[in-house]
Structure 1
Amino acid sequence: MKKKAARRIGSSTAPARTDAAVADLEAALNRIAPFKLAAEWDNVGLLAGRPEWPARRILLAIDLTDAVAREAIRTETDALVLYHPPIFKGIRSVTPRAECPTTLLPDLLAGRVALLAVHTAMDAAVGGTNDVLLDAFDPAERLPLTPAVERESEYKLVVFVPPAGVERLRAALAAAGAGRIGHYDECSFELAGRGSFRGDETTNPTIGQRGRLEHVAEIRLEMILPKSRLGGVVRCLYANHPYEEPAFDLYPLAGIPGRGQVGMGRIGRLARPRRGDKLLLALSKRVDLSAATVVGDLNRTFGSVTTAAGAFGVSFFTDPHSLVLTGEFKHHDALELLKRGVCAVCLGHYTSERPVLDAVRARLTADLSGAEVRIAKADAPPLRPLPTSIFR
């Protein structure tokens, strides 16, 4: 590891210097495949290392095997970007026996090699893993198989206020962070109505008298706000509402990011129906199909192609007019697909994800000026076909 440090300081053979740090690399990956799109159970982003570490030499791989780790150490890599997170569950030690696909985790960290992962964020992103597979067919339209949903990312505030206090309250709530939709601010909705209340002997009502049932004209004012601004907006409401005890409701909202264009899996509507064997011929120019298997009939036409890289499961594969390309499924899954009349090609888990690395390399090279971005030569599928020589 000392040799690595010395070379970086004094060797004229080092690549052109860049100010890119691990934090810049993480930000670039987040632009390519926003981490918020990842499945809740996943582990993406910076997994090991410091944000301020340099990121001059970047190595990409699907899995962090011992072979990939050795290549990273040998080539003095600064950061490893992995498709599958090498640190997935909580680990209790950083030793060769750590719950990790490589025994060299201590060596990588000792050499200040940062580890980052993209996984299901890349699966869901526009231009990500499943779109790269669809590129082989030049579809006329693309849409997610399961649109992404952000649960409780925003809230809707509904507050009841007398007409004379609406403008002041709306402006105050907007200044506190409510009412922003995209590039528009102070967004709200009003509805006139009639409210009632009766204060007990401890109250000091702004309108009417304590102990008497009052009926007043009120405006129902609605505004949305991000979860991060919830506390500040509620405090602002209490400070600026004319009533002693404001009446308001908060409703958690589910957000649909990317205008409904992002999500797990992709469906590509073809410009015209195409035979399944012709579609696979087009795919074979980009993807290694030597170990692929198929369930169903390829010798018919399809109006769309569904791509679901990795271990997606088969519950969403229900359209018999869409050719499915996925990473893996089990024997009984294949029987279920046959019953549904769905034709599905099992590419292999690694094979279905590997093509996206070329796209990630191109994007990172463009985004991180001066950084050297490579795909690991040692990266390879853990499963391979039996050599034909053993049968001779």
Structure 2
Amino acid sequence: MTSTLPVKQRIQSIDILRGVIMLIMALDHVRDFLHQGGAFSDPTNLKTTTPFLFFTRFITHFCAPIFVFLSGVSVYLVSTRRSKSELISFLIKRGIWLVFVELVLISFAFSLNPLFNSFALQVIWVIGISMILLGLLIWLPVRVIGALGILLIVGHDIITTMTVAPNTTEDVLLKVFFTARGTLFFLDKTHIVFDLYAILPWTGVMFLGYLFGTLYKNGYNPANRKRFLLVSSASLFALFIVLRIVNGYGDPAPWSVQKNTVFTVISFLNISKYPPSLMYCCLTLSVGLLVLALTENVSGKVSEFFKTYGSVPFFYYILHFYLIRIITIIVFFLQGFKTSQIITPNDPFLFTPPGLGFSLSVVYLFWLGVILILYYPCKWFSKYKKTHRQWWLSYL
């Protein structure tokens, strides 16, 4: 028999920030599938992009690092309620579960291919692997784990420039752990792995989040927490500005003066997500820390709206992918495509023929629709999680 217990207390600022980035994340995925030509173009390519398209993609750059960072914060909070051995078991099992979800549920949502000819390794995959690694290192002091995170974030750009003989074991390991940026691995003639997220740079972000989780332990002075978050945010942003102006270490894509001011700004902001460069981490995490500092005591309908999604991120993440793909199928037939066009040659994704979709402005309307459709399911599940204690809820 399921028991109903008093509502669990959550940290408001974390749920608000996570809710904001989850909603922004959906914009990128709606654009992937419903922007005409979106799946076959690069919004960050200065030769072909427009300011509207670039900034639509740029705003979503903040999602993955903040999501991974907050996952690290959450691990620390879980550690305050479990023994070390319990925490190790939980992290390893949850990490394996997340890898399974990425390879099966998310990969299918992307491709809609029941034969699983392609697997996509994205943010859920890297969170799962990072949790396993954190579980293996959890006996270390928190500050040591945080220091390892900083070392990975700051130093991995050196390794990114390394080269080894192609198609060797060393080459595969270097890509998987450090340099993957949409890298294709062929399992056989008909099955591929599409690796977007190199493991260790993102693991560094989770380790850093684990360190910052100590700011939220019981008894920590809220004023001191806010001050530390603001100083950290300002420091990271200043480091980003300095590194970007110098145009040296910290990102493999230097900026340059362009044909006009707008495109020069775009070039300056066109930092590398795959793998996440030092500059990329500095800019995105600085904004995340600022939001955490400023939303700790806010209230009102807007904050409650964001908290609804932020309190059930995994539930929302799975649902939004499947909702987007259902919409894609409906649009496919409404726009007059035939069943013979479900499969596009040399494209692992079904229901994505050339010409499918809409202008970017219409994509924003679909994005708002996806958010609103999922509001009440997320609100229901958020309430359910707060008032129930089944073991499986900790995996969702």
TM-score when normalising by structure 1: 0.22
Which of the pair is proportionally richer in strand?
1
Which of the pair is proportionally richer in helix?
2
TM-score when normalising by structure 2: 0.21
